[in-house]
Amino acid sequence: MKTIIEPFRVFAVYPIRMTSREDRERAIRDAGYNVFRIAARDVIVDLLTDSGTGAMSSEQWAAVMRGDESYAGSESFTRFEAAVRDIYGFRHVIPTHQGRAAERILFQTVCRPGDLVPNNTHFDTTRANVEHAGAEAIDLPPIESRELGVPRPFKGNMDVDALEALLEERRGHVPLVMLTVTNNSGGGQPVSMANIRSVSNICREHGIPLYIDACRFAENAWFIRNHEEGFAQKPYIDIAREMFSYADGCTMSAKKDGLANIGGFLATNDGRLARQELDLLILTEGFPTYGGMAGRDLEAIAVGLYEVLEPDYLEYRMASTRYLGRHIADHGVPIVEPPGGHAIYIDAAAFCPQIPPRELPGISLTVELYREAGIRGVEIGTVMFGSEEPGRPSTAPHELVRLALPRRTYTQSHVDYVVEAILAVFARREEMRGYRIVEAPKTLRHFTARFESL
């Protein structure tokens, strides 16, 4: 059969409230034109994030009932730790309430003021946590990733020449190197096994640990198996194990490829470091056998980490992202090519070229998608990465709008609805206008800023 179907039946449903154009006009105005400020009940198809928004399976819900809520020595932690060790292979597993808590503990432990942390591309919370620890976050994407519309495999790679040069130049000031798989801020693009291996070799030559930001490790494994030579016959779990075998530790948000609604962990092979990290964990997250999670969350993740590696699941997952990407791109909508793992990224600067970056084309597009059909996407551009602070770039390198697909949540007809809405906005793109910020905090301003149309 050519048709790839959702490999599950529905077992509980959330109703979607259909809104009118007037309802949406009011909601977006009251939200200061920032879709983060809109109530979820006013959204029809929510593509704000794939983080914690997926549906759990019947097996995960069954596991939830097994949750051992003991403060110390919980059985659920034993199962969680066994799953993480089995798949990721790291010796020390430190549970946290989500990915950014793992980031905070890691960077606070290893970074000193004046240090720098290279990454293929930092996610926003990763960057903020590096900076919060007094270090500088450096992105090293490959040159080909600058050509957004040109499809090439593994555009999420790290530029290894740039990494080598940086490590030579800043010897003694790089406490760790990070690779984000898949590269979220870089268009959801994958990192090849060859690149992971090269980065790992360079790190080992310099005696610097390599960490993987593993949020979407299973999706990355799908790209390796299907697009990199030599992996076509390998089970996904073995590909994942090989990816992690080149690293010294990882941070993980289980809200993505843990198929859970909350949770995460930090893992490392370094026992001395793990002890320092556990001290911080106890201070703000919780006892080492639950971190910031309930026993039932640990159970859901222990099951989810295996389900996410099932071939039928990954085929469906990648087919749905590709479907959305192809159906808009083939009608001329400029997207980051090829389609990423968890999301489609529309190039807002090319979508509405009459709006310059400082007038926030990504915000304009998120507002129009919401107005048109109640679709919520997110700007990944100047509001997220630009800055008003002196010495920092005021605009971002790209003006993207991300449409992230929650896992196992929407069906093909929801995606068809999204396609229709995007094409309708595309047809009237010349009427779109820019925005300006009227109110914003200094860090992570995209969450709460308010805007005004120009």
Residue 76, interface with ligand F0G (CB under 6 A)?
no
Nearer of residues 100 and 398 to ligand F0G, judged by Cβ? 100
DSSP single-letter state for residue 146 = G
Q: How many residues bind ligand F0G (CB under 6 A)?
A: 15
Distance from C-alpha of 254 to C-alpha of 252, rounded to nearest angstrom: 6
The distance of closest approach from Cβ of residue 48 to ligand F0G in the complex, given in angstroms and rounded to an integer, is: 7
Residue 264, interface with ligand F0G (CB under 6 A)?
yes
Nearer of residues 264 and 386 to ligand F0G, judged by Cβ? 264
The distance of closest approach from Cβ of residue 427 to ligand F0G in the complex, given in angstroms and rounded to an integer, is: 28
The distance of closest approach from Cβ of residue 366 to ligand F0G in the complex, given in angstroms and rounded to an integer, is: 14
Q: Residue 2: CA atoms inside 13 Å, Cβ hemisphere, count?
A: 0
Distance from C-alpha of 172 to C-alpha of 207, rounded to nearest angstrom: 10
The distance of closest approach from Cβ of residue 184 to ligand F0G in the complex, given in angstroms and rounded to an integer, is: 4
Residue nearest to ligand F0G (CB): 99
The distance of closest approach from Cβ of residue 430 to ligand F0G in the complex, given in angstroms and rounded to an integer, is: 30
Among 266, 269, 253, smallest CA distance to 301 is for 253
Q: Is the dihedral of CA 200, 203, 209, 214 positive or negative?
A: negative
Nearer of residues 305 and 432 to ligand F0G, judged by Cβ? 305
Residues 155-214 interacting with ligand F0G (rule: CB under 6 A): 180, 184, 213
- Single-letter residue type at 116: L
> What are the beta bridge partners of residue 46?
376
Nearer of residues 63 and 215 to ligand F0G, judged by Cβ? 215
Nearer of residues 7 and 447 to ligand F0G, judged by Cβ? 447
Q: Are 371 and 28 in contact (CB under 8 A)?
A: yes
Quick count: other Cβ atoms within 10 Å of Cβ 428?
10
- Identify which range of 76-84, 95-103, 156-164, 237-245 contacts ligand F0G by CB under 6 A: 95-103
Residue 446, interface with ligand F0G (CB under 6 A)?
no
Nearer of residues 79 and 256 to ligand F0G, judged by Cβ? 256
> What are the beta bridge partners of residue 344?
403
Residue 321, interface with ligand F0G (CB under 6 A)?
no
- Identify which range of 67-75, 93-101, 286-294, 324-332 contacts ligand F0G by CB under 6 A: 93-101
Dmax of the chain from CA atoms? 61
Contacts of 142 (CB under 8 A, 6+ apart): 155, 157, 158, 159
Residue 100, interface with ligand F0G (CB under 6 A)?
yes
DSSP single-letter state for residue 6 = P
User: 3-class DSSP state for residue 309?
Assistant: coil
The distance of closest approach from Cβ of residue 180 to ligand F0G in the complex, given in angstroms and rounded to an integer, is: 5
User: 3-class DSSP state for residue 211?
Assistant: strand
Q: For tokens 């020449």, what's the residue?
A: 161
- Identify which range of 13-21, 72-80, 92-100, 368-376 contacts ligand F0G by CB under 6 A: 92-100
Distance from C-alpha of 333 to C-alpha of 172, rounded to nearest angstrom: 46
One residue of 24, 92, 104, 255 binding ligand F0G per CB under 6 A: 255
Peptide bond into 182 cis (omega under 30): yes
Q: Are 189 and 154 in contact (CB under 8 A)?
A: yes
Among 360, 330, 362, 331, smallest CA distance to 346 is for 362
Among 392, 403, 397, 399, smallest CA distance to 443 is for 392
Nearer of residues 51 and 268 to ligand F0G, judged by Cβ? 51
One residue of 19, 109, 157, 253 binding ligand F0G per CB under 6 A: 253
Nearer of residues 218 and 432 to ligand F0G, judged by Cβ? 218
Residue 98, interface with ligand F0G (CB under 6 A)?
yes
Residue 215, interface with ligand F0G (CB under 6 A)?
yes
Distance from C-alpha of 345 to C-alpha of 50, rounded to nearest angstrom: 13
Structure tokens at 293: 């999670």
Mask for 101-140, x = binds ligand F0G (CB under 6 A): ----------------------x-xx--------------
The distance of closest approach from Cβ of residue 125 to ligand F0G in the complex, given in angstroms and rounded to an integer, is: 5
Site residues for ligand F0G per CB under 6 A? 49, 51, 98-100, 123, 125-126, 180, 184, 213, 215, 253, 255, 264
